Amino acid sequence: MSSLGALVSTIVEKTTTLSLLLGQQNVAQPTFTEDGHNPYQGENADLRQIRYDIVRAAQDLLRLAQGPEDQILQLAWSSADTSNFGVILQFKVAENVPFGGSVTSADLAAKVGLPEDVLLRSLRYAVGNGLFVETAPGVFAHSATSAAVARNQSLRDIALASTLEQAQMLLRLPETLALQQQKKEGAEVPYAAFNLVFPKYENIFECLAKEPELAMRYHLYMMGRVKTDRWSTANMVKSWDWANVGSKAIVDVGGSAGHTCMALAEACPEAKFIIQDVDKVALEQGRQALSSASPSLVERTSFVQHDFFQPQTVSGDIYIFRHIFHDWSDDDTVRILKALVPGLINGATILVSEGIMPEPPATRTNALDEKQILIEDMFMLAVHNGRERSVEDFVKLFKQADARYEYITTTGGTDGAFQSTVEFKFKA
């Protein structure tokens, strides 16, 4: 049972340990000031564990101290936070506040092209959320968090797509579900909230093929994610035994511009890489990026257009599906897995790299690491009418597609890594 007193004791005890570990590992104490923009750099797993213990207890303490009414209102109004942060990102406000100095709202408004009154109100709202500080009336400087926004392009790219398109789709989910529920004879209902936001297109991949600005933001978002520790392709490299791959063929299905294979290149110095995607632009980006790689890697790598709903034409040894199945419903996932079978040789390995849903019952999620998979599940529902899955869900779908798929094991997904690697083999 969590009581106020017990939670405070946990926080005191863990904070004392955290301070000690920070000292031992030469990591600076966290601070709200600008120089605290990248705390915990170089932390090890123990330090991370203690930090998250504090976050969990502090979040429960906050909930108890606030009471249900404040929590309900905060939940209901959280879209104002997303919207405000979207304004800050879209108008590059953080990038235009000087490091180590300050700027008046009038000068900043001229730089970012917003009316001063709107900018001032947006900035003051943002200050309330820990972004920026108002050092004197109308004068603004960086806080630790706004400095992190200004300094970290990948975080900005992730946050921009999240606060613009993704937020719009999430907010239209209740309306979408209501329309689906009230479906009348012959009436067109949206397949996903995506279709209410982008009514011209059937799905996001068709939309991206026709909307270059959106496609650019989506790819920057994807690339930005890969550059963070959470989503790094290095997590996949660490989570499976690549040492014995030798000169086998690795097929990255829906591999986009090939960043997963590029991350595996060092661990598999003799492997052949075949990157398949339906998107010609992504494949071309990959070909261009590959041109500066070593001649050996260039020779072993190919980019091939392939629709994964069509029968697989390449007989590889290892197939990677990274961040693919969560975009699709159970029926579509089974179709993709059935379409793979014509390419499969006896003993072929299929690796699914995805975040994994925890087994029920659900619990309060107090730390972002725990909540992230649930947030992604809501994204998938709103964007694709897709879903995140548990290991058990994957096993069920593979077996439904073909009884010859055998579940082997699940690895990774620890120490802050979002994805796990779920391994199957095809036993013909």
Ligand X SMILES: C[S@@+](CC[C@H](N)C(=O)[O-])C[C@H]1O[C@@H](n2cnc3c(N)ncnc32)[C@H](O)[C@@H]1O
Report the interface residues with ligand X, using CB under 6 A: 205, 222, 254-256, 260, 277-279, 282, 307-309, 322-324, 327
Closest CB to ligand X among residues 139, 263:
263
The residues near 335 (Cβ < 8 Å, ≥ 6 apart) are 309
DSSP annotation string for 143-159: BHHHHHHHH-HHHHHHH
For the CB of residue 336, give the shortest distance to ligand X in the complex, in Å. Answer: 8
For the CB of residue 239, give the shortest distance to ligand X in the complex, in Å. Answer: 14
Whole-number Å distance between alpha carbons of 91 and 241: 45
The residues near 422 (Cβ < 8 Å, ≥ 6 apart) are 351, 352, 353, 354, 356, 391, 394, 407, 409, 410
Closest CB to ligand X among residues 57, 282:
282
Closest CB to ligand X among residues 260, 349:
260
The residues near 134 (Cβ < 8 Å, ≥ 6 apart) are 123, 124, 127, 140
Read off the DSSP letter of residue 139: E
For the CB of residue 356, give the shortest distance to ligand X in the complex, in Å. Answer: 15
Closest CB to ligand X among residues 32, 309:
309
For the CB of residue 259, give the shortest distance to ligand X in the complex, in Å. Answer: 6
State both tokens at 335. Answer: 């179709």
Whole-number Å distance between alpha carbons of 333 and 339: 10
Closest CB to ligand X among residues 254, 416:
254
Handedness of CA 356, 358, 362, 365 (dihedral sign): negative
CA contacts within 13 A on the Cβ side of 170: 18
For the CB of residue 41, give the shortest distance to ligand X in the complex, in Å. Answer: 25
> Do 68 and 160 meet the contact criterion of CB atoms below 8 Å apart?
no
Written as one letter, the residue type at 154 is S
Written as one letter, the residue type at 163 is T
For the CB of residue 322, give the shortest distance to ligand X in the complex, in Å. Answer: 3
Closest CB to ligand X among residues 119, 383:
383
For the CB of residue 230, give the shortest distance to ligand X in the complex, in Å. Answer: 13
The residues near 159 (Cβ < 8 Å, ≥ 6 apart) are 85, 89, 149
Closest CB to ligand X among residues 222, 250:
222
For the CB of residue 374, give the shortest distance to ligand X in the complex, in Å. Answer: 18
For the CB of residue 399, give the shortest distance to ligand X in the complex, in Å. Answer: 23
Closest CB to ligand X among residues 260, 333:
260
For the CB of residue 326, give the shortest distance to ligand X in the complex, in Å. Answer: 8
160 burial via Cβ count (<10 Å: 0-12, 13-18, 19+): buried
CA neighbor of 381 nearest in space, from 325, 308, 323, 329: 329
CA neighbor of 159 nearest in space, from 171, 175, 146, 176: 146
Closest CB to ligand X among residues 300, 384:
384
Closest CB to ligand X among residues 54, 251:
251
* Sheet arrangement for strand 301-305: 301-305, 272-277, 249-253, 318-322, 349-354, 420-426, 405-412
